[in-house]
Every structure is written in structure tokens, then in C-alpha cells.
Amino acid sequence: MIRQAAWGFQLKHYFWIVATAAVTSIPAAGRAQEIPDDVGVAARVPDEFKPIGGRIGTVFIYPALTYDLTGTDNVVASDADRRGDAYVTVAPRVTIARNSQQSSHVVQLFNANRFHFDTKDENFSEFGVLTRNRWGAVDSANITLEASAQREVDQRTGRNNVTLSRSPVHHGRFDGELAYAFSAGRFSYRFGVHARRVDFADARSRTGTVIDQDFRDYTQVGGNARLGYRLREGVNLVGQVDYDRFYYDLGPGEPGFPSGLAPDRNSYRVKGEVGLGFDISQRLYGVATIGYLTRNYRKQIPQLRDVSSLSYNINLLWNPTEYLTVRVNGLRDIQETASPLVAGDQFTRGTVAVDYMPTPALLFTASANAVHYNPVGVTTGNATEYGGSLLGRYRLNRRWSVTSRLSYNGRDTNSPVDSFDGVWLSMGVVLTL
């Protein structure tokens, strides 16, 4: 974390600030254990490449601009409507930070615009603002407040893509979390409350028919508690409990709610997990926990009243050498869905990524991921998504970097409309002032 406002310190931790703020989704559930900044090779910035930025008094400003050109053989991610296209993405961002020994304040404004060469209906814009604030030193009692407001788009390659929509569906999302953390001897504690509001815009089919999305609008509120116990230096026993309630704007019988078999999605969720947290200097960081999850859908048919299963959360970073980082992530949970026929999607996700930095200017990243979905409801619509990518980044100087990425993504379902596979190739430049 950031502890002083000295100029050199700010530059050293610039990419931590950007990485923190660039996560444009503040989790609606409490964090298990954060990985410290500047520990993976991809996050390290050698002195000769540290950005310059700007300063007004004790406030530091870091503007950045990303420009990408991407080509794909399946722009709408559907085997039934396979089309090739190319598009340009322009993404400006401004990060503002003010920090001292006892506090940290970061605000970021961001925007991403995509312009297609052929399929103009696929053009979209995302934008928003987020802030992360801490009062109190990192290694003592502190209060954190995070909030964000943004417009997001359901990506065509995502599970919640509305396939029949002429353009990607967008929604407004508002997140907030307030937490208090402290430690006493070998014990550490964290208590938090959080809320989320999501409001979807209606979609339109290719023939102009309105596809009402109001049934997806919801409010989520909840809290979490985490306990840690230091077993030895760098290794902690951790336990966490999360509770959330989901309030949907519409229910069965109300105007605008889908007719037929659409389920009532009002529900509550409880998850408890225990495991180990790691903070072994320059080697191993993160957390691995396992536990039990239940989601109870009220006023529902028996098949939906209580959906319970094993849950786990893995977020680990390992540095086997000074130039190599291995990142492993895994999660099992239940997420909201765009389908009017089911209440949600129980998913099991895993990701592995390897970062290699042979020189201070050059970075290579290889990653692979897979996720399996089981719909919550009386239906058979299981799906498996998978993918992999290769990324190269070369820093020319403090201001300019060039990137290239090759990705493959796919989804297997029992429907050719929702199934797809495709290749994406992109090249870009990043300007950091």
C-alpha cells in the first residue's frame, strides 16, 4: 500500500495504483486476502521505465491512453452466425492519487470505445469512475471505503450475452463497500458491508423488436467477516463468512416479468470458507480456501428453494525465479443470469497464467482458463467455456509501450446459437504520461 507522498515513492508504486483502480468491479463480497503490489514480474517497473506523471501539491495525476487494433473470425461469438471483422479500441484513463503515512486516496476515471469496420451494430462505449480510500496505516487498524459507478457491456463471448440482440446489451452498475480491519497479536480481523445496484437497458433484435431486460434489474446488500491467525511467518490460517440478499425489481405476475416458466429470483446467499493465506516475501502470496455455499430462493418450486454445494476460492501468485511468475485462480459460486428460464448459474472456474520477463523491457504472458456452468432450475442447459492467450509487451521508454495478443475462446452447449469458437489477434500501443 501507499504510505508516503514522496515523489519517488509514488513512481515506484504507480502501477499498483493503476492496477487497483483499473479493476472496475468492486467485489460485492469481502476479499479473502489481497496479493501485495509489485510482487509479480508483470507488475514490476524498472527505474528506467517508470512513468513521469504530474503533480499538483500533494495530488499525483497519471493519464494513460490505450489504442488497440483487433481482428477476429467470429465477431458475434456464435457458430450459427459466424462473421469475421476488425475493430479499434480507444481507452483513455486518468488516475488521481493523494497519499500519506496514515491515509490513501485513489480516484480513477476511465472510458473504452470500440469501433468496428463492418458490423457497426457491435460498436459500444463503456465508462465510469471508481475510488478507493483508506484511513489508517496498512499494518494497523484502518477503515477502507470503495465505491464505483460505471456503464458496462455484456461481451459477446460472455455467458450473459443476449444472443438475439442486435447490439451488445449494456447496464449501469453501482458498487460500494465499507470495511474495518485490525489485528491483535497473532490474530487479524476484518468486517465489511457492501451493496450493489444493477440496472439493464432493453435490447433490440435485428428486426427491431424490443427484448425487455427489466427482469434482470436487482439490488444486492450484504456483509462479511474474516478472521486470520498467524501460524508462522508468512503463513496464516484464515476463515471467512459472507452473507448476501438479492432483491429483484420484478417478480412473477408483475408487468414486465417474463411469462411462463420464469422463476422468482429473490434469494439469500451464505458462504463460509477456511484455508491458508500466504505472504512469503518474494515467493508466494495469496489465499486458498474451501467451504460450503448455499443459495435459497424464496417462494420457489422445491428444486430452487435451496441450492447448496462445495465452494472454494484460490488466488495465488508464485515467483519460482526472479524473472518468472505463476498465477493460479479458482472459484466456485453462483452468479446472476440473463436467461429468463433459470434463476442463476452455478459455476466452477479455473485460470492459470505464466509471466516471463527476460529483459526489463520485454514481457511474455501465457494463460489458459475454463469455466463450467450449471443452470439453477428445472432445465438442461449446461455450458463449458474455455480459452487461452499469448501476450507480448515491449516498453520503448517511459511513455510508450507496444503490445500484441493472440487469443482463442470457445463455448460448448447443446445449442448452435450459443456455442462458438473463435480467434482474436490484436496489436496496440499504450501511452503513459
C-alpha cell belonging to residue 313: 476460492
**Strand 383-395 and strand 362-376: pairing?**
antiparallel
- Which strand (E) or helix (H) includes residue 329? strand 324-335
Q: Provide the 8-state DSSP code for 342.
A: S
Identify whether the C-beta of residue 328 lies closer than 8 Å to the C-beta of residue 351.
yes
3-state secondary structure of 49: helix
- Which strand (E) or helix (H) includes residue 11? helix 7-12
Exposed (0-12), middle (13-18) or buried (19+): which is 86, by Cβ within 10 Å?
Answer: middle
Name all domains of the chain by residue range, CATH numbers in brackets.
Answer: 7-432 (2.40.160)
Using alpha carbons, select from 223, 224, 225 the residue that is nearest to residue 187: 225
Identify whether the C-beta of residue 288 lies closer than 8 Å to the C-beta of residue 314.
yes
Rounded Cα distance between 421 and 76, Å, is: 10
Per-residue pLDDT tens, the chain, 433 aa: give them. Answer: 333 333 333 333 333 334 333 344 444 444 445 676 668 999 888 888 888 888 888 899 999 999 999 999 999 999 988 999 999 999 999 999 998 888 999 999 999 999 999 999 999 999 999 999 999 988 789 999 999 999 999 999 999 999 889 999 999 999 999 999 999 999 999 999 999 999 999 999 988 999 999 999 999 999 999 999 999 999 999 999 999 999 999 888 788 888 766 788 899 999 999 999 999 887 999 999 999 999 988 766 665 667 888 999 999 999 999 999 999 999 999 999 998 888 889 999 999 999 999 999 999 999 999 999 998 876 667 899 999 999 999 999 999 999 999 999 999 988 777 899 999 999 999 999 8
Find cell 432483491 and name the residue: 247
Rounded Cα distance between 36 and 331, Å, is: 20
C-alpha cell belonging to residue 341: 428460464
Chain segment 369-400, per-residue pLDDT in tens: 999 999 887 666 789 999 999 999 999 999 99
Distance of CA 397 to the CA centre of its chain: 29
pLDDT of residue 399: 94
Query: On the CB side of 218, how many CA atoms lie within 13 Å of its CA?
Result: 22
pLDDT of residue 261: 64
> What is the CB neighbour count within 10 angstroms for residue 206?
11
Rounded Cα distance between 157 and 406, Å, is: 15
Chain segment 225-262, per-residue pLDDT in tens: 999 999 999 999 999 999 999 999 988 878 888 876 67
C-alpha cell belonging to residue 35: 496479493
Rounded Cα distance between 270 and 224, Å, is: 10
- Backbone dihedral angles phi then psi of residue 207, each to the nearest 5 degrees: -95, 0
